Copies of this chain bind each other. A is one copy, B any other.
């Protein structure tokens, strides 16, 4: 079937490619025309203005937005709302805040336009691996676009079937799911990313403990400010982290796709010297924690993972200075500057 795609960055372009491979027709648009040209050369129908784009789509039009969340998406939704007709379908495949989806869907519904929020996981690997899609919005539009979702999704593949799934049916084991009404797709994707933060932090903390398992070999200055290691003989291991990440990939309880990626990264560069360790967060982790708080459900692990990212960017500096200042006030403690850095 036909799909219009706006936003031909890394993910948008690969979504088009995966659809083309599956014999769908793609009309594509991007603010900068060279990306349109590129995909046109690969079989897509290029459009160089938004009006041209809208015109090239059959009714009911189905348009997939893959532009950055926040202002860019907001603005594009507004522009398209002017140009689309009742019965058309607008899909936000980016990482929008689900609360924005609820509002947008209400606005568009008043014009008869269907809105779908599709949380799309898969990153740079999606072209080959398929995209996991969490969908929110009206059933009729989800149903209509089923061929698109089916083609973008990974399908059952060689992953072992969950016992009992055969009796349940549904699309979940194909890798896409209609989660509920509008916002529901991005809500589930948001929590997916919140979990991702937690998983990543669990690996990072554990591997950091392994990385420091030779701390007993270092001579640490002993003074009233620094407690000595009581049993240095217990921390004498120089561990091979690339090998450890690798061995866990098979048969262990912690095997996962994130571990696969960790094994790749550590094999490429065991000391990770190319990275400064300033970890960005793109919103979903924050929103997940905010949702947990609104709901009154505890999320200590997901929050700790989020805060670690803030700290990695120096956002704890003033708090740390305050701790040193208090220690100076009550105990005359002066900061140590010679402690071993990792």
Contacts and interface: CB of A to CB of B under 8 A. Distances in A.
Given A275-B328, A290-B290, 14 more contacts: A125-B330, A134-B244, A163-B264, A164-B264, A177-B244, A184-B239, A192-B253, A195-B205, A205-B300, A208-B315, A213-B295, A235-B295, A275-B320, A286-B293
Given A268-B164, A297-B212, A335-B276, A195 B187 contact: no
Interface in A286-331: 286, 288-331
Interface stretch (A35-43, A81-89, A224-232): A224-232
Interface residues on A, range: 35 or more
A12 B239 CA distance: 28
Contacts of A76: none
A325 B275 contact: yes
Interface string A244-277: 1011111111111111111111111100100111
Nearest to A288: B209
* 5 tightest Cβ-Cβ pairs between the two chains A and B: A198-B202, A256-B256, A227-B283, A277-B320, A132-B251
A338 to B, nearest CB: 10
A201 interface: yes
Nearest to A249: B159
A222 interface: yes
A47 interface: no
A4 interface: no
